Amino acid sequence: MSADPADSADPADAEDADAATRRSRPAVELDGVTKEYDSGAGVVRALDDVDFVAHPGEFIAVMGPSGSGKSTMLNVLGLLDEPTSGEVRLAGERVSGLSDRERTDQRRKYIGFVFQDFYLIPSLSAVENVEMPTLFTPGDGRERAADLLRTLGLGDRLDHRPTELSGGQQQRVAVARSLVNSPQVVLADEPTGNLDTETSRSVLEEFTRIKDEERVAIVAVTHDDLVTEYADRVVNLVDGVVVDDIATARASGRVDPNDQEAGDDEAGDDESGDDESGDDESTPADRGDEP
């Protein structure tokens, strides 16, 4: 937030500079987050001192048995639920102290959700559902909504209502809606839960495209091994505790998406003391790199 050359410039430039700054920071972080629910029958600790970081351009799968805290973690990451203790940061900024209104504003601007039950609006067509979140922001939301639906194979269903779509098609509408505002973070609860393999792949490929091209951080709760095939990291939750957080072979910065078969990038590090890579030493991908 210090002296920013965009201060006195055109607001569009200032917005670009702000977006660039935000994308240079961790997209979303949990720092010692505990979440307890007091449910008459006693206190349930759904999250227990969880540390978690999602960087721009990372796709993270969150796995774990039923009741382990996965949905609670998504709700806290998505500013839908406040932790009992600990801190949540969005692009490096604390959100814990914000008013409800400010949280809602941050959520609309920076976070896209794919809920397990889709929550599409029955009276609206597919393209109108996808366009909904853009009504708060400038630009041609309708065109972007239609483009996303076409990318996800629903170009011939733009004017259909949710009841006229299969479960898998509704899910793709929900995915398109989560992406329409170019969020910094997409949070998805079982995004492939109702899809066949081919449709799952088209959703996962769209996630991969937006994380690579738009540096979106994606956090997906899943039981689906296909999702972990596309993920950069897999986080396992058990009883509200992160029991492991493992970088996969796809991890950002380790594997060039255009050169996935190279397989010799460890050797490359030694001979490139002055290369262009600018690797951030703190990325989780690097942690598992020591022999």
Ligand X SMILES: Nc1ncnc2c1ncn2[C@@H]1O[C@H](COP(=O)(O)OP(=O)(O)O)[C@@H](O)[C@H]1O
Interaction site with ligand X (CB under 6 A):
37, 39, 44, 46, 64, 66-72
CB atoms within 10 A of CB 33: 25
We find the least distance from the C-beta atom of residue 219 to Mg ion, in angstroms, to be 13
Q: Based on the shown chain and the rule CB under 5 A, indicate whether residue 71 belongs to the binding site for Mg ion.
A: yes
Instruction: Tell me the window of 52-60, 67-75, 203-211, 238-246 that interacts with Mg ion (CB under 5 A).
Output: 67-75
Only one residue has tokens 């959100």, namely 95
Q: Which is nearer to Mg ion, 219 or 247 (CB)?
A: 219
Residue nearer to Mg ion on the CB measure, 71 or 200: 71
Give whichever of 175 and 210 is closer to Mg ion, judged by the CB atom: 175
**Residue whose CB is less far from ligand X, 67 or 153:** 67
Minimum gap (Å) between residue 71 Cβ and Mg ion = 3
Q: What is the smallest separation between the CB atom of 174 and Mg ion, expressed in angstroms?
A: 16
Select the binding partner of residue 92 from ligand X, Mg ion, none (C-beta < 5 to 8 A, by kind).
Answer: none
Other CB atoms within 10 A of residue 258 CB: 7
CB neighbour list of residue 69: distance below 8 Å, 6 or more residues apart: 35, 46, 47, 48, 50, 237, 239, 240
The rounded radius of gyration (Å) of the Cα atoms in the chain is 20
Residues 157, 173: Cα–Cα separation, whole Å = 10
Strand partners, 187: 113, 219
Instruction: Provide the minimum distance between the beta carbon of 70 and Mg ion in the complex, in angstroms, as a whole number.
Output: 5
Least separation in angstroms between CB 191 and ligand X? 14
Q: Least separation, in Å, of the C-beta of 194 and ligand X?
A: 17
**Nearer to ligand X (CB atom), residue 226 or residue 241:** 241
Per the DSSP assignment, residues forming a β-bridge with 139 are: none
Choose between 71 and 181: whose C-beta lies nearer to Mg ion. Answer: 71
Complex with ligand X: residue 37 or 136, whichever CB lies closer = 37
Distance CA 187, CA 62 (A): 11
Provide the minimum distance between the beta carbon of 279 and Mg ion in the complex, in angstroms, as a whole number.
Answer: 35
Footprint of Mg ion on this chain (CB under 5 A)? Answer: 71
